[in-house]
Chains A and B, each alone.
Chain A
């Protein structure tokens, strides 16, 4: 529908609206009211040519536009960035020293609405730079270049316990950044911003290939970087209790690693037979990656978090066929049955359920299930068997797993066994269980689906938002550097002095 609309405003509040469209309708409003076909129709027309303002309501027609107002300039660089890239939000041409609110808005794939905002004061030249200036309050405060993303939270009235998760890695996350006058905290949907910009955040660089894998009975997705290859490979294992996601592997491929994200909790075979996968499933996944024509067979690593990282520690220590250049484990524990299958490990936790408890907010804290960590070697994996470099990323406020205690115990075991030179521990205070790639919002608690029983519990993951989000950024940087060091170079790890 082609539409050419012209509106005139004056200062007295008398609005005259003259509009024509291809179907020849003309409507004129006087005295601030619109004698129109219907406000819904006009709103529809407005929405057509201001598609970015889909949240506009009929109220928008009654907003006065001050003709003398300078046009505010908002720019976000880069406008199309990767999910782990920083951006710069620059506001120019506002009145000097005026109060501003910068807001980020996203409607996720599930339809949930998320927002974040910061309160700022422009400088004497009428400029404000989120990357350099101080937020006086909002969903984040202080100098936080990426606060508009990591402090995203469900808008008022949303369902509790949501996590911002993007399943589709082939499309970008679209975030609308807007600037408002004054320090606002609510009602953004009913206001016209001074300016807005749309930013795309991508999980993949152009040319990254996504290949669903069903060979050898696997349920997985392979991401390959662009180019002829061959590439080092990473087997990527997520934790339990969430839907199967692939975005971390997509990001690894954007950094030059062939990455295979494996669905091991609810793969097709488990859905069909009701039986959990055996150890051989993981060996097949490893071998598939290792033998893939685009992958360098002697440059394989594993990266996992939570339950996935527990499996990685086991595989690295015990699976003969698995030969790793390195492993990265986020909030892992070595306290698990030695030998046995995935199901044995799940049962091991189930048997200790009575040690879980509720906090005042009725959120479940699971970390006690595996505590205290015994000295008895039969209760845990033998870390002395580890032969590859291991990076342990630990959130010290992990309320789901005893990650800190486990990391300390693993370190002790390796010191005793003489292989502690392989271990690097990155331990972050006030950081919770779910350590994601950077700039994703922190989820302190959310619904957790227990494997096998499928019951859902509101679970406390832990972490204090600011510290947790800073930790995510630092951890990801270190994880990438660690993987690059061990997968792209041939430098050998020497014993520590």
Chain B
């Protein structure tokens, strides 16, 4: 609650007249709103607003941020349901919506929309309806997709309201109906623009009904006359136009413009195409048509022209006058002087679909600049002026561009006509003038059109500085209204107000000033205007503290001073401002109310409203100006816009009026004020309606402005492109020129080249001819030289020949000389020969004589010598023959001997060969024999073994026999021989029973032979047991055999016979010798071994060798050795005899062969 109380306090302070306080409170609220997300604060604010309709609260509410929108909408929904608060809620909603809050898309889902529709369908209060419809129309473009759900609600509402217009339920005032009609018309436009197919089908279905036919005829049909066929009717369909995709592409202002486009109403659609201008004019109400036609036609075009042509002129000069690059500065000259050309210019901007609006803001600067430049001769001074306007438009134009649509044309012309017509020229000045020090301070128009911002400050500043100012204003306004009421008709006491706050005025005012500067500058006394501008600018430049508003302020400051100087001339602009309002209103009205209805209260605006307003405003401003020349600048609230100011003005006016009324009514309540009160209420309502409409229009205008901004951007871009294009073209031209220059030079060069070529050709030809000639010469020379050479050759040949001849001749000479010498020699020789011949001849003669003499002698001695010679010859012959035969003999002998030698040699070789063969054969045979011998030897060995075995056996048997005998003997001799018994132990000790007996035998038999047994016994000890026993046995058994073996060395002869006997049993003795040999006598053993080893060899070899070998060792008895050998091998005799034989045979054979061959 404390908070609530606190809130209440705060709210109350919100409307405090102290600006700073108010700002603080506003800031506090905003902070709270930011901090608090609950609905409470918003609800309180809404409540407070509905109670007090405070501007500050409205401001806060309309700028609510996102989270609070829901609460606001809920709250409003709640209040819309209540009839009492419905109107104010709707106006609040209107305010909120018109600002296009970020949450506007939520409206379609909000419950507020259905409730609004419901109230529109149900409510019967015209004011509420009108307000609601306007709100709805405003809302529609923002939530186009909502149409899908509520389309039929919209149509129902349209049907209901349109029928309302006709049926006029009794209690509804006619005046209200007009507003309603206007709003219905707007609704019609909107619906037709947005949903043509659906809407048309609705119209068809709805108005084919009989009961509605009248309504159609009266109300709808005229409306339809002012729209063209919507293209969607052809291309679209019911479903297609409800498709959200269609709306997604379009922004709010796009939708608004779309709707405006289909309008035939010049005011609505004027800017969309060029015709609109003329339309506008033609559409004007007849009464003013004359005025309008007179001037507007020229002026609009003028203004348009000047405005629109600027780009052209700017661009055109560019192309036409290349010398001056900056067209904007140079172009003005022709344009300013001559209007005609401008009229002719149909700018591309129009073609582009850009009507006036963009031009005005965009072109003003250049226009402004031009005048300045004109005035000051395009000097450095231009900088600032041209700069400032240039900067100014951007901020300002958006707001006003819209106005230009309506405004531009009429203002220039109207003023004059109007001024004359209207009795009070000052009236139209409206609030513009109230800022101005004097009514005619219209040269500010340039500034004043931006002024909305600038004068408001001034105005507000006044408000701020003087807290009472508003109240005073109100009071004064009230007073004036009173006055006006008194003066004017009672029926329309409030008209001034309606007119006062009608948007048209403002619009027109705002619009014209904008244009005027340029227009006036261009068309009228340019010299003056610029000056004023300049002066104002120059002066203001330093004064105005705010740069942002400089352009706006210029007028503000300007007015203060400039008026003084330029008052007389400023007159023309003044009327201009006046004019618009009448035009605007009528035009709109006319359009809105259709042609059939002459604006019933149009004039009221003009007549009634201005008065009060003028009075109020003028006084107010005067006061303000008096009071706040300085303070206005200090207490400046930047946020206030001219529109707000207007709103506030209306509001305050209304407030003042109501206060006045209340004040008045208080005392006079008793009187029949009731009726008056009714009137007042109706008027108030009307005022409200008008305000609403104004707001709606303003909204539309804003949308236009948004669009214009966009278009402007395009224009600027297009212009830039165009310039770029032009520049390119220029460059192109330059390049073309260059190219041409180059071409020309090329041609020249070509010509030169050809000339040079010709020259060269001729030169070449000459040279060629020369060459030819020279070649010819050369050939000639060559030929000559060849000839000469041949000649030379010939000469040489000749010389050579001559030389040869010379040589020959020389040789001949020599030869002849030689011959000569020879001849001379011969000659001498022949001479000598002749001499000799002679001598010889003589000798011959002599000798012949001698010969004759000898012949004579010879014949005498020839007979006795021949016999002797013949004998001798014969002897010699015989001797020769003898020798010959002897030689023959000798040679024959030699031959034979040689042959013999050869034969012998062959025989020798043969013999050698044979010898080798024989050797081989011998070897072979040897081997063979050895093999056989080995076999034989093995046999012999076997035999030896056999004999051994046999011997053993025999000995064994003997042993047994003797044992038996001994036993017997023992029995016999046991008693007799004691000696034998003594010896026995020895024998028993030595070698068993057998040897003992043998030993005893030997001892008994041969005393001398006791030696041999001893060695035998020792042998037996050294040899193996069996052998030893064997040997001992043998020695004992064959004592005769063994004894002779050793004796032979001592007494070979006597024992040889015994040997022979022993031959019969040799095998028994042999083992003994073999066994005894090694051990008994080393050298004998050696021999024996040698013998055994080399038996085969020794047998093959001569006996002598062995004999000699043996003889060396066996000195004593060679014969015995030989003899001993033969018995050694019992088989030996057999092979031995043949082998010597065979050897002998071989030898013999060999010898024989050799002998035979030798012999």
Q: Do A and B come from one complex?
A: no
Binding site for A on B (CB under 8 A): none
Binding site for B on A (CB under 8 A): none
